[in-house]
């Protein structure tokens, strides 16, 4: 009505609304109608820009991976700080995306092969990093690098994903910066113990 036509802007608005909807409700739970309303667009217009629900999701995911900053793919030199670092990354780079990951694990989705490959590569790079640090003598010999990586994944995502558990156990919301700091320090502390740096246990 009062707005001038603008294809690019409309497309972006749809994409943004779709991101929110998909990340909050998962694929099957997401409603095209809801996306349309949120983007202030007739829902049929979405089919003018995207072939369908699935392609829309793919578009959202593609844009996601383009946008993430470089520092997120770096590793700290000391394995003691690996967990803390990965936790910070998870906190910063859109927690809602993490939530979507969970749905991906549960729903039987249009398993994007390219997407699965990317995830595998990312995880494998964590394992490789851990292995190299073990060879450098920074990680105890008797701890399996793969299992360590899995453990770190667990510790750096679980409290954020299962906000209700975090709330029930600690009383804080996982979005609370105070909790995030406490958890960061905690991760460093137990990392120090696990990796055998007993001299790190100050503060």
Partner DNA sequence: AGTTATACTTGACAACTGTAAAGTTATAAC
Partner DNA sequence: GTTATAACTTTACAGTTGTCAAGTATAACT
Q: Interface residues with a second copy (CB under 8 A)?
A: 26, 28-29, 99, 102-103, 105-107, 116, 119-120, 123-124, 126-127, 142-144, 146-147, 149-151, 153-155, 157-159, 161-166, 168-171, 182-183, 186, 189-190, 193-194, 196, 201
Tell me: does residue 12 bind DNA (CB under 7 A).
no
Tell me: does residue 108 bind DNA (CB under 7 A).
no
Tell me: does residue 32 bind DNA (CB under 7 A).
yes
Structure tokens at 184: 């960061």
Pick what 144 binds: a second copy, DNA, none; C-beta below 5 to 8 Å, kind-dependent.
a second copy
Query: Is 58 or 95 the residue whose CB approaches DNA more closely?
Result: 58
CA angle (165, 19, 8) in 5-degree steps: 165
Query: Using the rule CB under 7 A, which residue among 17, 18, 30, 155 binds DNA?
Result: 30
Sign of CA dihedral 27, 33, 35, 38: negative
Query: Is 10 or 191 the residue whose CB approaches DNA more closely?
Result: 10
Q: Are 129 and 75 in contact (CB under 8 A)?
A: yes
Residue range at the interface with DNA (CB under 7 A); choices 44-52, 68-76, 77-85, 128-136: 44-52
Query: Is 74 or 120 the residue whose CB approaches a second copy more closely?
Result: 120
What are the b/e assignments for 29-52, b being 16+ CB within 10 Å? ebebebbbebbebeeeebeeebee
> Residues near 7 by Cβ (< 8 Å), separated by ≥ 6?
none
Q: Are 94 and 69 in contact (CB under 8 A)?
A: no
End-to-end CA distance of the chain: 61
Residues of this chain that bind DNA (CB under 7 A): 3-7, 10, 30-33, 41-45, 47-48, 51-54
């Amino acid at each position: 009505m009062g707005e001038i036509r603008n294809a690019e802007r409309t497309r972006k608005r749809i994409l943004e609304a779709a991101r929110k909807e998909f990340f909050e409700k998962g694929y099957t739970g997401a409603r095209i109608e809801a996306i349309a309303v949120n983007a202030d667009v007739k829902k049929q217009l979405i089919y003018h820009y995207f072939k369908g629900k699935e392609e829309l999701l793919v578009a959202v995911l593609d844009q996601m991976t383009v946008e993430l900053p470089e520092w997120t793919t770096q590793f700290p030199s000391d394995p003691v700080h690996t967990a803390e670092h990965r936790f910070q990354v998870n906190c910063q780079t859109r927690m809602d995306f993490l939530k979507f990951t969970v749905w991906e694990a549960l729903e039987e989705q249009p398993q994007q092969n390219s997407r699965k490959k990317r995830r595998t590569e990312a995880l494998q790079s964590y394992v490789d990093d851990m292995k190299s640090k073990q060879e450098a003598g920074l990680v105890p010999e008797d701890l399996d690098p793969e299992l360590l990586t899995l453990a770190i994944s667990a510790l750096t995502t679980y409290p954020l994903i299962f906000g209700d558990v975090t709330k029930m156990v600690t009383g804080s919301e996982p979005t609370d910066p105070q909790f995030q700091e406490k958890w960061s320090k905690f991760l460093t502390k137990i990392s120090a113990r696990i990796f055998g740096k007993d001299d790190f246990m100050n503060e």
